[in-house]
């Protein structure tokens, strides 16, 4: 029975590693300038974690197999140094692994999160609320109008709480349900949550950033491929969470300008 368990252990370990080793599930094509670093890091992490996992499972299976049918009264043998040494060695190995992942991984992370966007990045404000995303562009004056949460009136499409009656800067602000951006231009996305925590996730952009009510968070990225991609909320935010999504529309510069003009004409 013990030997069978050891065999089953090996089968489970190999079967779990197989889909990852053969890349059965691949991420969709990366359309961002920073995404390759994330992908490389993810691949390194998978390799390291995968080898550690297989190694640990195989060693476990080996010992189970070897000592499965020990005779009664057989003499116990100990590793030299006892449990203390084993634990210390394990602690150092695992610690070194986690530390190495952190040191190597911070490069990919810091590239996205710890660098400032270019000064000429396109500023877009994102507002997440139950259960939709809305995006705001500054309009021709290049300035965002102030936000007044008490003025939010969704039936009137005032999702951000603008006050066009008194605030001239807000009159030309363009609000859209889809995130339209020009290709190959950096975008600085300023993120606000209206009610609870949400998350902005675009697989193709390799970006996932939470919205936190009360915090001014932001991400910046450059999309390199024209197309339409899904933006989904990946933070359980309530009843309609499953349906909280929007679309990222990466356009050629000309098309983007046309889109902005079209949106401005609807104001």
Closest CA relative to residue 176, chosen from 252, 251, 266, 240: 266
Which residues 118-177 are close enough to bind other proteins by CB under 8 A? 129-133, 154-157, 159, 164-165, 171, 176-177
**Is residue 183 within 8 Å of residue 223, measured between CB atoms?**
yes
Residue number with CB closer to other proteins (171 or 185): 171
Residue number with CB closer to other proteins (109 or 131): 131
Task: Count the residues of the shown chain that bind other proteins, applying the rule CB under 8 A.
Answer: 25
Which residues 186-245 are close enough to bind other proteins by CB under 8 A? 239-240, 243-245
Site string for other proteins, 88-107 (x = CB under 8 A): --------------------
Beta strands in the chain (DSSP E): 122-129, 132-137, 174-176, 179-182, 186-193, 198-202, 207-211, 217-222, 227-232, 245-251
Beta strands in 74-205 (DSSP E): 122-129, 132-137, 174-176, 179-182, 186-193, 198-202
Q: How far apart are CA 103 and CA 99, in angstroms?
A: 6
Residue number with CB closer to other proteins (77 or 156): 156
Residue 246 contacts other proteins per CB under 8 A: yes
CB of 246 to other proteins, least distance (A): 6
Residue number with CB closer to other proteins (149 or 155): 155
- DSSP-derived secondary structure for 32-55: BSSHHHHHHHHHHHHHHHHHHHHH
CB of 266 to other proteins, least distance (A): 6
CB of 91 to other proteins, least distance (A): 48
Residue number with CB closer to other proteins (192 or 220): 192
- DSSP-derived secondary structure for 116-137: PPPTTPEEEEEEEETTEEEEEE
- What is the contact surface with other proteins in residues (CB under 8 A)? 129-133, 154-157, 159, 164-165, 171, 176-178, 239-240, 243-247, 266-267
């Amino acid at each position: 029975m013990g030997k069978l368990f050891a065999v089953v252990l090996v089968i489970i370990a190999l079967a779990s590693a197989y889909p990852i080793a053969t890349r059965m599930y691949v991420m969709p094509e990366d359309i961002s300038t920073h995404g390759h670093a994330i992908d490389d890091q993810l691949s390194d992490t998978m390799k390291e974690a995968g080898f550690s996992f297989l190694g640990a499972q195989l060693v476990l299976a080996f010992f189970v197999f070897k000592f499965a049918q020990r005779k009664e009264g057989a003499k116990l043998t100990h590793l030299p140094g006892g449990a203390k040494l084993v634990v210390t060695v394990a602690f150092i190995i695992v610690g070194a692994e986690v530390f190495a992942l952190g040191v190597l991984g911070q490069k990919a992370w810091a590239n996205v999160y710890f660098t400032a966007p270019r000064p000429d990045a396109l500023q877009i404000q994102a507002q997440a609320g139950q259960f939709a995303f809305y995006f705001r562009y500054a309009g021709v004056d290049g300035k965002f109008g102030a936000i007044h949460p008490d003025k939010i009136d969704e039936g009137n499409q005032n999702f951000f709480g603008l006050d066009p009656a008194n605030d001239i800067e807000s009159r030309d602000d363009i609000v859209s349900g889809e995130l339209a951006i020009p290709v190959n231009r950096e975008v600085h996305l300023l993120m606000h949550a209206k009610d609870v925590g949400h998350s902005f996730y675009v697989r193709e952009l390799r970006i996932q950033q939470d919205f936190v009510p009360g915090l001014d968070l932001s991400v910046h990225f450059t999309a390199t491929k024209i197309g339409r991609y899904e933006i989904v909320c990946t933070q359980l935010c309530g009843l309609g969470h499953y349906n909280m999504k929007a679309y990222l529309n990466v356009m050629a510069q000309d098309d983007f300008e046309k889109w902005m003009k079209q949106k401005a004409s609807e104001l």
